[in-house]
Amino acid sequence: MKTLSQSRGRVTLRAVASRARVSVVTASRALNNHPLVAAATHKRVLRASAALGYVPNLLARGLVTDRTRTVGVILLELANPFFAELVSGIQAMAAKREYLVVIGESGRSAEEERRCLAQFQQFRIGGLLITPVESRLDHLLAARGAGTPTVVMGRRWPAGDFVSADDVEGGRLAARHILTREHRRVAIVRRGDPHHRPGHDIFTGFRVVLSKAGVALRDDWDIRVADGQVTDGIRAADALLTQRQRPTAVFATSDRLAVGLVHGFHARGVRVPEDVGVVGYDNIPWGEYCRVPLTTVAVPKRGVGEVAAGLLFDRHDTDDVERPRQILLPPDLVIRASLP
């Protein structure tokens, strides 16, 4: 006969142990696949657990071990398709390693990022995966120092573990493609945020290749926008089209900016790629299906999520304290109609 708590679904570990005729400690070890539990005992505990519908209390376990098999993920914005693929990679790895993924959104607010991290730590998350808002990461150092393994995604973190695309090489790829198509009047549209390290790296690689080829990047063709939205790309197109001399190729440091550029050019009778070629960055899914399919630099978004999660889980499971692991994954050029 079930107790009241069992009938409400709150089956306890003690009830499982009683049904399997073992101690609570043995039942706990069996459910956690402890190697010292005999095979017959392990099977008996699993049968008892299944029969009662026992669900482990991860929070209670975290209070005992001070760490749960839960990974907290803090992203800049959930609506950005870039992060959807990244999360897909994290979830794939978490399923293999039997971790629960909990996602928070900073909304590009440093204050919200810190609040979300504090909440995760209160729930004893087993580790943190984060794309931080700013370059100052003292709160991540504090979290790691308090025993929370932490891996930064899509950014470089000199003091800790990170997994990112090689954005400097990504900028180089875009510049080389533009130059091989014999463009010499070249513009760039990028975010003006000084904390946006990927944008800085992309710009560095892009500018170096142009400079070595003897192509100067004019100040009035270096368009900096407040954000990376489609509307920012449209405004950038307006800014370029009001100039006396126009570029023949434009590199946008995100596909959303590139989509805005293409839309803005077409709205004013400027053809892409006949009048001006456009190259994007990220390779978000719908870039292939916009009015003019985007030539773009493909960032391994799912790969970043998978590698970062795998690194975090290894840190969690082994308490590995070796020096930081810092991994850069190579980008690829995807040639489509916007600059064939």
Residue 56's pLDDT is what? 67
The DSSP secondary-structure symbol of 337 reads T
Residue 282's identity, in one-letter code, is D
Residue 321's pLDDT is what? 61
Go through 81-90 and write b for each residue having 16 or more CB atoms within 10 A of its CB, e for each that does not. bbbebbbebb
Q: Is 280 helix (H, G, I), strand (E, B) or coil?
A: strand
Residue ranges for the chain with pLDDT beneath 70: 1-9, 56-67, 319-322
Do 131 and 155 contact (CB within 8 A), yes or no?
A: yes
Q: Is 293 helix (H, G, I), strand (E, B) or coil?
A: coil
Instruction: Quickly list DSSP for 190-203.
Output: EE--TT-HHHHHHH
Q: Which fold has domain 4-56?
A: 434 Repressor (Amino-terminal Domain) (1.10.260)
Residue 57's pLDDT is what? 60
Q: Does domain 167-299 have CATH number 3.90.550.10?
A: no
Residue 62's pLDDT is what? 47
Residue 42's pLDDT is what? 87
CATH match for 66-165+301-329 among 3.90.1010.10, 3.40.50.2300, 3.30.420.40, 3.40.50.300: 3.40.50.2300
State the helix-helix crossing angle for 255-267 and 230-241, rounded to 10 degrees.
Answer: 50
Domain ranges of the chain: 4-56, 66-165+301-329, 167-299
β-pairing verdict for 127-130 and 150-153:
parallel
Residue 326's pLDDT is what? 95
Check for a shared fold between 66-165+301-329 and 167-299. Answer: yes
Residue 55's pLDDT is what? 73
Residue 26's pLDDT is what? 86
Token code pair at residue 114? 């810190």
Q: Is 281 helix (H, G, I), strand (E, B) or coil?
A: strand
